[in-house]
Structure 1
Amino acid sequence: MKKAILYVHGKGGSAAEARRFGMDCPEYDVFGVDYQEYLPWVVEKLILEDYERLSRNYESVSLITNSIGTYFGMLALQDKPLKKALFISPILDMEKSITDSLQAENISETQLQKEAQITLKTGKEVSWRYLQFVREHPIDWQVPTSILYGEKDDHTSIETVNKFVSEHSCKLTVMPKGEHWFHTREQLAFLDKWTKKELQ
C-alpha cells in the first residue's frame, strides 16, 4: 500500500523539514508544502494542489503540521479523506490568537479595521482582512488527530489545546518542559519517538 504524508511547516520553517519525518517513517513518502507567504488564502491553494497530486498517486494521505501550519492544513483539508493527522505545537484557534494579540496591546478591532494593518510590538503583523477571512472560513475538523504540545508553549495555551481535544477526535501528548519550537536534542528525540509511535 502506497502511503504519503503531506507536511505543512510553521513560520520561519521550510518544506525541507519534511525529510526528518521521512527518516522517522520510511514506510511513508513524505512531501513538504513549499510556501513563503503566510496568508491563508494563498497557502490554502498550495496545500490543496499538493494534496490533490498525492491523492491521485497514493492509496492514503496523512498530514503532519507545525505551528501555524496546523491552521493552514485544517483550513485547506478539512473536507478531505485524510487517514490521520499529527499536529506539532499547533495553532488551533486562529481567531483567538489574533484577538488575544490585539488585547495584549490594547488595540481594538475598530482601530484595526480603520488602519487595515498594524505591526505589534512583538513584530507580528495583524490585518483586518486576515481576521475577517478567519471568521468567514470556520473550520470543522473531523480527522483522527494526535497532538504534540510543549508544556512551556508560549503561542497556544493549554486551555485552548484541551478545548480542541475535548471537541474533536484527538489524542494529546504533552512534553514536560517542552517549548513551542522543538529544537534541542532532547526535544527532537521526543518528537521523533512520538512521530514513530503515532504513525504505526
Structure 2
Amino acid sequence: MNNTLVIYVHGKGGNADESEHYKKLFADCDVAGFDYKSETPWDFKEEFLNWAEEKFCGYKSVILVANSIGAYFSMNAISQIDAETDGSKNEITAKIDKAFFISPIVNMEKLICNMMTWAGVTENQLEKKKIISTDFGEKLSWEYLIYVRKNPIQWKIPTEILYGEHDNLTSLETVSEFVRAHNANLTVMNGGEHWFHTDEQMKFLDGWIEEKLER
C-alpha cells in the first residue's frame, strides 16, 4: 500500500472504470474510482462517507480527481461533512489535501437557473409542480434547487481546475469567480469542451496533471 490514495469521482453518465486512465499519471499512488449511484447531493454525501470510511483507511493523504457534477457532489459532501463536526476537521475529509477538477460544476444554482431558462420554466411553476421534465433530457427539481441554495459550498482544499473554452454548462466567468473566491488555480484549454474525450483533449489533460504534479 502506498501512502497516498487518489480517488476519481466521475461525472454524469461516467463510471468508476475511468479511474484506470489516471493510474499511469499517479504512478506512486494507489488509485480508486468511486462508483456512486446517487443522483442528488444529499444522497451522494451519505454514500461518499460510507465508502470513504473504509477506502481511506491506512492512507496518510488523499488526492481527489473529479469530473463535472462529480466535482460539485464531492465539494458539497466534503463541505457538509466538515460542517457537521462543529468546526473541527473530520478525520476522513482531513486526509484530502489536493484536488484536480475537470470541467467542474462550481455553481449549481446558476446551472439550474440556466436550465430553467432554457426550458422556459419559472420558479413559481417549479415550486408548484416540484419536478418538471425538459426537452433536453434533464429533470428540474424544486427540492434540488432549494437544497443547493441552503447549502453553499465551503471549499478550502488547494485545487487545480481544467476548463474547456467551449464548455456549454459553465461559463468562463462563473469558473473564474470560483477560482477567485477559493484556493484554486485555473487552466483553460483553447478549443476544449465540457467533456474531455478526444485524443487531443486527453493528451492536454494528461499534460496538465503531469505539470501540476511536478510543482
TM-score bin (small chain) = over 0.9
After the TM superposition, which residues 94-133 of structure 1 pair with which residues of structure 2 at under 5 Å, given as runs?
A: 94-133=108-147
Q: Cα distance, 1:135 vs. partner?
A: 1.5
Residues 24-82 of structure 1 show CA distances to partners (whole Å, capped at 9, x for unaligned) of 11111111111233211221212222322233210101111000001101011233222
Residues in 2 aligned to 1:66 and 1:114: alpha-carbon distance in whole angstroms: 32
Amino acid at match of 2:52: Y
After the TM superposition, which residues 71-90 of structure 1 pair with which residues of structure 2 at under 5 Å, given as runs?
A: 71-78=72-79, 79=82, 80-81=93-94, 82-90=96-104
**Residue of structure 1 equivalent to 2:159:** 145
Residues in 2 aligned to 1:93 and 1:2: alpha-carbon distance in whole angstroms: 33
**Residue of structure 2 equivalent to 1:46:** 47
Amino acid at match of 1:83: D
> Mean Cα displacement is larger for which, 130-139 or 177-186?
130-139
| Number of aligned residue pairs | 200
Q: Cα distance, 1:140 vs. partner?
A: 0.5
Residues in 1 aligned to 2:33 and 2:46: alpha-carbon distance in whole angstroms: 14
TM-score norm. by structure 1 comes to: 0.95
Q: Cα distance, 1:104 vs. partner?
A: 2.4
TM-score norm. by structure 2 comes to: 0.89
Residues in 2 aligned to 1:117 and 1:51: alpha-carbon distance in whole angstroms: 31
> Mean Cα displacement is larger for which, 53-62 or 172-181?
53-62
Verify the 8 A CA contact 2:42 2:77 in the aligned structure 1: no
Structure 1, unmatched stretches of 5+, are none
Residues 1:199 and 1:51: Cα distance change in structure 2 (over 3 Å): farther
**Residue of structure 2 equivalent to 1:25:** 26
Verify the 8 A CA contact 1:9 1:17 in the aligned structure 2: yes
Residues in 2 aligned to 1:46 and 1:28: alpha-carbon distance in whole angstroms: 23
